[in-house]
Amino acid sequence: MPDLLTPEFMHRLDRLDVVSRKLLRGSMQGERRSKQKGQSVEFADYRNYVVGDDLRRIDWNLYARLDKLFLRLFLEEQDLSVNVVFDTTRSMDYGNPPKFLYAKQLAAALGYVALTHHNRLSVFAFADRVVSQLDGLRGHRPVPRLFDFLERTPTSDSPGDLGTALRDIALRQRRPGVLVVVSDFLDKGELGDALRYVAGPRFDVIAVQVLSPQEVDPGKGGVAGDLRLTDVEDGDVAEVSATSVLVKKYRATLEAYCQHVREQCVRRGFTYLNVTTDVPVETVILSYFRQRGVLA
């Protein structure tokens, strides 16, 4: 397998950090400026003194001018819990380059950014359930472990079940944090039911739908004539004639499904991103993710 990330790309990633749109409180001090008010040295605001407050935080200079007691509030530096979830179902093997390699490269980049800024990282691989995971990484030292885990994770023979996988993750991860799901979302289950397990205030969810150019345009995949198609995940078979009318209907159906995925995500307050594997991973991370406020 080729290297997941080039040294040049990793150098550019060193300047980025994962950003949460929600108020997610970490448990250890990290490198981020939280919206929570705490005990760091960076001043944030004042509030009126109330009985029982720490007298050491009173601004006596302000008291001398206004004859009122005010407490100084500071921004607290905190770590962030970052969870990266990637799809290992057989459909991810499709495409040139394969969606599976692309998903691993995205997971590697996001994980590297999280570890570089001393956030707590967990990585989950899923098919019909969580099939493997790497928990509680923090700091630069576990970066090789992250890359080794991603490189060694194979595709699964089991059909996809996004709902069961997300339910497992929601039960295992009680800490609030960012949750990035990288998948083609070509799951036969009800998407809305699956996404509800990670909806709500606990997770700031980013859904990345990865498709291949050959899926978007069947002509690029050599789809023509009379065909016998087999579902790579559950073995369902269909015999079709790839006429221009059928290909046009397929494209409309795929576009409608992607729109459905987007609507289901937006309805729950998730960030949604649709990418194809012919777009360089560097562009997705350095441009698309920054534009959507996932990285800064």
Angle at 129 between CA 17 and CA 279, to 5 degrees: 45
In the CATH hierarchy, which fold is given to the domain comprising 7-23+80-291? Rossmann fold (3.40.50)
Least confident of 39-48, 67-76, 161-170: 39-48
Q: Could you tell me if 283 and 12 are in contact, meaning their C-beta atoms sit under 8 angstroms apart? A: no
As to burial, measured by CB atoms within 10 angstroms (0-12 exposed, 13-18 middle, 19+ buried), residue 291 is exposed
Q: How far apart are CA 134 and CA 2, in angstroms?
A: 21
In this predicted structure, what is the pLDDT of residue 236?
Answer: 77
In this predicted structure, what is the pLDDT of residue 183?
Answer: 98
Q: Could you tell me if 223 and 251 are in contact, meaning their C-beta atoms sit under 8 angstroms apart? A: no
DSSP secondary-structure letter at 105?
H
Would the pLDDT of 142 be above 80? yes
Strand bridging mode 130-137 / 120-126? antiparallel
Would the pLDDT of 202 be above 80? yes
CB neighbourhood size of 14 (10 A): 11
Which residue, 80, 95, 139, is CA-closest to 115? Answer: 139
Q: How far apart are CA 213 and CA 219, in angstroms?
A: 10
Domain ranges of the chain: 7-23+80-291, 32-78
Token pair 């709500």 in the structure block, residue: 200
Cα–Cα distance list, 164 to 91, 121, 130, 231 (Å): 18, 21, 8, 20
Tell me the whole-structure pTM to 2 decimals: 0.81
In this prediction, residue 28 has a pLDDT band, given cuts at 50, 70 and 90, of very low
In this prediction, residue 95 has a pLDDT band, given cuts at 50, 70 and 90, of very high
Please state, for a pLDDT cut of 70, what percent of the chain lies above it.
80
Which residue, 185, 165, 184, is CA-closest to 173? Answer: 165
Q: How far apart are CA 33 and CA 37, in angstroms?
A: 10
Q: Taking residues 230-245, what's their average pLDDT?
A: 71
The letter for the amino acid at 101 is L
Cα–Cα distance list, 105 to 12, 20, 67, 85, 277 (Å): 15, 21, 59, 12, 11
Least confident of 35-39, 139-143, 270-274: 35-39
| Model pLDDT for residues 118-130, shown as the tens digit of each residue | 889 999 999 999 9
Q: How far apart are CA 282 and CA 94, in angstroms?
A: 21
In this predicted structure, what is the pLDDT of residue 121?
Answer: 96
In this predicted structure, what is the pLDDT of residue 36?
Answer: 47
Q: Taking residues 264-292, what's their average pLDDT?
A: 96
